[in-house]
Amino acid sequence: MKGNSGVKNDFIYSMALQLSEQEIIRREALAELQELGINPYPAEEYTTNTTIKDILTYYPEDESSFQDVVIAGRIMGRRIMGSASFAELQDSTGRIQLYFNRDEICPGEDKTMYNTVFKRLLDIGDIIGVKGYVFVTRMGETTVHVKEYKLLTKSLRPLPVVKEKDGQVYDAFKDPEQRYRQRYLDLIVNPDVRDTFRQRALMIQSMRNFLLSKEYLEVETPVLQPIYGGAAARPFKTYHNTLDTTLYLRIANELYLKRLIVGGYDGVFEFAKDFRNEGMSRFHNPEFTQMELYVAYKDYKWMMNTVEEMVEKIALDLHGTTAVKVGDKKIDFKRPWKRFTMYGAIEHFTGVDVSEMDEAQMRKAALDMGVELDETMGRGKIIDEIFGEKCEGKLIQPTFITDYPVEMSPLAKKHRELPGLVERFEAICNGKEICNSFSELNDPVDQRSRFEEQIELGRRGDPEAMVLDEDFLRAIEHGMPPTAGLGIGIDRLGMIMTNSNSIQDVLFFPQMRPEKSSSAESEGDDFINAGIPAEWVPVFQKSGYPNLESLKGANANKVFNQLCGLRKKLKLTLSAPKPEDVKEWIEKAG
């Protein structure tokens, strides 16, 4: 360290107790930059005039272009030689090589900006802006010849360095836990992750454009609901102080959107975050996004055609083709999709026609197929079990399953021809449901009795049974036009459209258990309360005494030696304690 003030030394070395060596070196570089009069975090705008992607795309077509470029981004790699160096710069569009030459960066006598600042004080991860011109190196790589550069942000932590050659990736940053917890790192070093989320955004945009082009109204409805409804699921519960009342985070927005149809809109939709207090897996996150759409004067048959049209358009907008690669399969969203009734699908995959069976016969048939059941299951639930067990996983290409048992669908209208069924369909794709839709039940008398059946299920112990929403009934008693409704899982569809294996890969910040945080900082108060100088607290903690309690009964000589040893090792400017001080501190602990 040259010319550093004692104050800065103290700051850096007191941090040294918690920091890795590489972090200390970066903090020293930060201090040195400031002494050179360089602001590592400048406030003013840095105006760029192109992007890396544009340079790489258009320069090869016209080598007289890009002779005066300004770009900004993060340093992702450096190859430093004597008077000339190369670096990799990454912006939001891509990565390009930079060429630095000492005598061009520093035309005069003072070579500090090259020798000291660029070579020694900049690191991988720093954000800089550069001005220069584009050329091609002897090795044939399009490169920006830097005439001038400016530090825009100093990075204090080392970045995972991922290297790649001929499609082979070295030292990939791939541990899922770290990728999800520190998504920013994932995004920096794994460019395909940035692409996945761009595609997700494009997918939503495509869907929204489709719906807006039909002149449906995009709306927002409450997330905090006094009565949760619209789906069979367990809710998150919260509490409002002023109202002194329990509220639930919505599990669906269906009942609110239908109220809007009652209110006279012909078509309403919402991209809704829903919350379900249930298990987590690679298909389930506690909060997820669903697009719900309700269109008046339509039925579920119309809605099937609409879903096909919409999803086919999304595939085309994202991939330019209706066929999408998912894992080792190719899924083709080209219309028309295959259609099965639920009974038809079961007969197709099991060879058993269950359509005419009563509950007892059905139970026996299911058990014969090896489907596990429990006592609380009624006829509808058994059909659902058979379907889920024997059919759903086998449906890879997009397929509509229609006409569900009434017991499973308390918000769907009874089938116009087939008793015991409702006018409902789901689209199954890659073995998973991607949407759910019905001709909405608008008969208020029927709706009330369906709710009452749900209440009965709740009494029998079904934790997912729906509760009766009196205001919703009041609304449809005023008359809701015949309506087709749809819920489509945005995350699930996103997984398919981006070829992602888990829902965590299409959510920026999937829910994780909270990280175990070191409580060292708060525990430090104990030391101070016992009269131990604050500047020694981190030294104690580094020595293996996280709190005062841990110091109890410790050998005073040993502690004294540990403290002084660390002081020497880390070149702390603190004055050494006396042995009797240490003894006194330990006595206070015990």
Partner RNA sequence: GACUUGGUAGCUCAGCUGGUAGAGCACAUCCCUUUUAAGGAUGGGGUCCUGGGUUCGAGCCCCAGCCAAGUCACCA
DSSP state of 420: T
Question: What's the closest the beta carbon of residue 164 comes to RNA, in angstroms?
Answer: 6
Question: What's the closest the beta carbon of residue 579 comes to RNA, in angstroms?
Answer: 26
Residues of span 14-73 touching RNA by CB under 7 A: 20-22, 25
Q: In terms of CB distance, is 20 or 92 closer to RNA?
A: 20
Residues of span 186-225 touching RNA by CB under 7 A: none
DSSP structure string for 105-167 = H--SS--HIIIIIIIII--TT-EEEEEEEEEE-TTS-EEEEEEEEEEEE---SPPP--EEETT
Say if residue 336 is preceded by a cis peptide, omega within 30 of 0: yes
Question: What's the closest the beta carbon of residue 416 comes to RNA, in angstroms?
Answer: 24
Residues of span 101-160 touching RNA by CB under 7 A: 101, 120, 123-124, 137-141, 143, 158, 160
Does residue 54 contact residue 93 with C-beta atoms inside 8 Å?
yes
Among 388, 420, 531, 565, binds RNA (CB under 7 A): 388
Q: In terms of CB distance, is 421 or 490 closer to RNA?
A: 490
Q: In terms of CB distance, is 103 or 477 closer to RNA?
A: 103
Question: What's the closest the beta carbon of residue 101 comes to RNA, in angstroms?
Answer: 7
Does residue 484 contact residue 300 with C-beta atoms inside 8 Å?
yes
**Which spans in 166-234 are helix H?**
176-181, 183-189, 191-213
Q: Between helices 444-459 and 470-477, what is the axis angle to 10°?
A: 160
Q: In terms of CB distance, is 331 or 503 closer to RNA?
A: 503
Counting residues that bind RNA (by CB under 7 A) gives 77
Does residue 247 contact residue 239 with C-beta atoms inside 8 Å?
yes
Question: What's the closest the beta carbon of residue 571 comes to RNA, in angstroms?
Answer: 12
Quote the radius of gyration of the chain (alpha carbons, Å). 32
Coil, helix or strand for 276?
coil
Q: In terms of CB distance, is 91 or 464 closer to RNA?
A: 464
Please name every residue paired with 224 in a beta bridge, in sequence order, or none if there are none: 249
Among 30, 69, 207, 232, binds RNA (CB under 7 A): 232
Task: Give CA–CA dist 293/407, Å, rounded.
Answer: 23
- State both tokens at 254: 């269906």
Give the interface segment with RNA, choosing from 37-45, 199-207, 497-505, 578-586 (CB under 7 A).
497-505
Residues of span 270-309 touching RNA by CB under 7 A: 276, 278-279, 281-286, 288
Among 299, 332, 446, 464, binds RNA (CB under 7 A): 464
CA distances from 28 to 10, 23, 120, 337 (A): 11, 9, 11, 63
Among 16, 33, 207, 231, binds RNA (CB under 7 A): 231
Q: What's the gap between Cα 216 and its chain centre? A: 28
Q: Which residue matches tokens 């040993």?
A: 558
Task: Give CA–CA dist 157/74, Å, rounded.
Answer: 13
Q: In terms of CB distance, is 119 or 334 closer to RNA?
A: 119
Q: In terms of CB distance, is 280 or 556 closer to RNA?
A: 280
Question: What's the closest the beta carbon of residue 386 comes to RNA, in angstroms?
Answer: 11
Task: Give CA–CA dist 189/196, Å, rounded.
Answer: 14
Among 2, 109, 170, 239, binds RNA (CB under 7 A): 170
- Any contact of residue 86 with RNA (CB under 7 A)? yes
Q: In terms of CB distance, is 212 or 512 closer to RNA?
A: 512
Site string for RNA, 540-579 (x = CB under 7 A): ------x---------------------------------
Among 11, 54, 77, 202, binds RNA (CB under 7 A): 77
Question: What's the closest the beta carbon of residue 286 comes to RNA, in angstroms?
Answer: 6
Q: In terms of CB distance, is 11 or 86 closer to RNA?
A: 86
Question: What's the closest the beta carbon of residue 310 comes to RNA, in angstroms?
Answer: 18
Q: In terms of CB distance, is 6 or 514 closer to RNA?
A: 514
Question: What's the closest the beta carbon of residue 397 comes to RNA, in angstroms?
Answer: 17
Task: Give CA–CA dist 243/222, Å, rounded.
Answer: 16
Task: Give CA–CA dist 173/443, Å, rounded.
Answer: 56
Q: 426: which residues sit within 8 A by CB, 6+ positions away?
A: 400, 401, 404, 433, 435, 436, 437
Question: What's the closest the beta carbon of residue 10 comes to RNA, in angstroms?
Answer: 20
Q: Strand 421-429 and strand 432-439: pairing? A: antiparallel
Question: What's the closest the beta carbon of residue 280 comes to RNA, in angstroms?
Answer: 7
Q: In terms of CB distance, is 164 or 471 closer to RNA?
A: 164
Task: Give CA–CA dist 293/379, Å, rounded.
Answer: 29
Q: In terms of CB distance, is 143 or 439 closer to RNA?
A: 143
Give the interface segment with RNA, choosing from 146-154, 240-248, 325-333, 385-393 (CB under 7 A).
385-393
Question: What's the closest the beta carbon of residue 492 comes to RNA, in angstroms?
Answer: 5
DSSP structure string for 446-507 = HHHHHHHHHHHHHHTT-TTPPPP-HHHHHHHHT----EEEEEEEHHHHHHHHTT-SSGGGSS
Q: What's the gap between Cα 348 and its chain centre? A: 38
Site string for RNA, 503-542 (x = CB under 7 A): xx-----x-xx--x-x-x----------------------
Q: In terms of CB distance, is 347 or 464 closer to RNA?
A: 464
Give the interface segment with RNA, choosing from 177-185, 253-261, 307-315, 477-485 (CB under 7 A).
177-185
Question: What's the closest the beta carbon of residue 521 comes to RNA, in angstroms?
Answer: 12
Question: What's the closest the beta carbon of residue 215 comes to RNA, in angstroms?
Answer: 28
Does residue 210 contact residue 318 with C-beta atoms inside 8 Å?
no
DSSP state of 509: S
Q: In terms of CB distance, is 284 or 588 closer to RNA?
A: 284
Residues of span 342-371 touching RNA by CB under 7 A: none
Does residue 511 contact residue 286 with C-beta atoms inside 8 Å?
yes
